[in-house]
Amino acid sequence: MLTDVPLHTPEFFAGNPYPAFREMRAGARVWWNDVTKFWALVRYDDIRFVSSNPALFSSAKGIIIPEVDGEELIQPENLIFTDPPRHRQLRKLISAGFTPRQVALLADEITKIVTGIFDEIDTTREYNFAEDIAAPLPTRLIADMLGAPSTDWEQFRHWSDAIVALNDPDIEQDPLEAMAELYEYFLKLINLRREGVSTGKTDLLAILAAAEVDGLKLTDDDLLAFSFLLLVAGNETTRNLLAFGMLNLIENPDQFALLRSDHSLIPSAIEEMLRYNSPVAHMARTATADVEVGGQLIKEGDRVAMLYGAANRDEDVFGDDAEEFIITRDPNPHIAFGYGEHMCLGAQLARLEARIFFEQFLTRFSDISLVGDITRLRATMVPGVKKMPVRLKAGA
């Protein structure tokens, strides 16, 4: 079926795509974009089917919606661009740095970063919540995890934005240039770890450099690709979770009041934030054979885009109130972190960052209000919040 919904444009995702998603779910399970030639999936079960079948739907040929005159930066050895069996080998090795114990060890550092951010807030002035308050946490944490100097975290953020927002006019650096600089930076860190030079803390690069599964170890190229993925994926998605999550609370004062009255609801509130505004808008796959999805024949070689934001409001799964933000929603089987082989490896870390962030926020500030318009990053995959002007009021 054809659709004139401009799914291939960053502007669509940087606006409010949810009314269009709702109409698409009501009309057909699978939609064809005739501009850049791909199938779009909007239903929960169809996306889980594609995610669960990597043999039929490959990641190796690209993971984003094709854009007009767009450019996709494919890295063959990057975890998200690989298929089994190589994907499983890489995931096993990289998982050594994301065990429940390793993630739990980061709680004190996360608390320290969040405390530092909130300590610097002057309630008499205006802040860009996305850049000034949400962004520093994931970027500083990743810099710390990789053993990079804390003074470099601002540069990390610039590199990450340049790579994600390929067509955003406000991003001045060329994405290929940003990637080259990032790789050069990470290679220096990796060489230090190979030489036995560590930060003495929870040094993820040192852990991964020493990791071995079934006689296999990560190469320098593997470590480079993973470091890149951690920075871009870990930074952008967590920043969006915090920014969108706070926006959800501001726009739903009854839910904000409920959360203030009962902090034990923070974990379920975070799950609802993830469902309601999925930090990653989509992932794409390429069919390796003719296959039927949602009653539609997908031909070998066709690109298929999984629209997580549409699936996470699927009425067949989340009920008649799927378009509402409800922090007590239970069950909440959202797929904001993906599903199957490629489910986000850092999901528990993102949840931990968000939990500590909102715990600290609720104990230190009595109110937060928008004082201007919100601007989104011009991107199809991670159209995050770029500007979100707010004022805060001290007091629990």
Domain extent, residue 89, equals 10-394
Least confidently predicted of 179-193, 261-275, 342-356, 377-391? 179-193
The CATH number of the domain where 196 resides is what? Answer: 1.10.630.10
Residue at 2 is within a domain? no
Residue at 5 is within a domain? no
How much is the pTM? 0.92
Which burial class, exposed, middle or buried, applies to 66 when counting CB atoms under 10 A from its CB (0-12, 13-18, 19+)? Answer: middle
Residue at 210 is within a domain? yes
Site of tokens 């909007």? 42
Residue at 301 is within a domain? yes
Residue at 106 is within a domain? yes
Structure confidence by residue, pLDDT tens digits, 349-361: 999 999 999 999 9
User: HSE (CB half, 13 Å, CA atoms) of 183?
Assistant: 14
- Give, to the nearest 10 degrees, the angle between helix 220-251 and helix 175-194: 120
User: For position 74, what pLDDT does the model report?
Assistant: 57
More confident residue, 80 or 70: 80
CA distance 10 to 87: 29
Structure confidence by residue, pLDDT tens digits, 129-177: 999 999 999 988 988 888 887 778 778 777 877 776 666 667 667 877 8
Backbone φ and ψ of 305, nearest 5°: -105, 125
User: For position 236, what pLDDT does the model report?
Assistant: 83
Task: With residue 50 as reference, give the H or E element that holds it.
Answer: helix 44-51
Residue at 4 is within a domain? no
Q: What is the mean pLDDT of residues 3-18?
A: 88
Residue at 261 is within a domain? yes
Q: Which amino acid is at 170?
A: D
Please tell me the total count of domains within the chain.
1
Give, in order, the Cα–Cα distances in Å from 292 to each of 102, 152, 190, 296, 302: 41, 48, 44, 5, 12
Residue at 258 is within a domain? yes
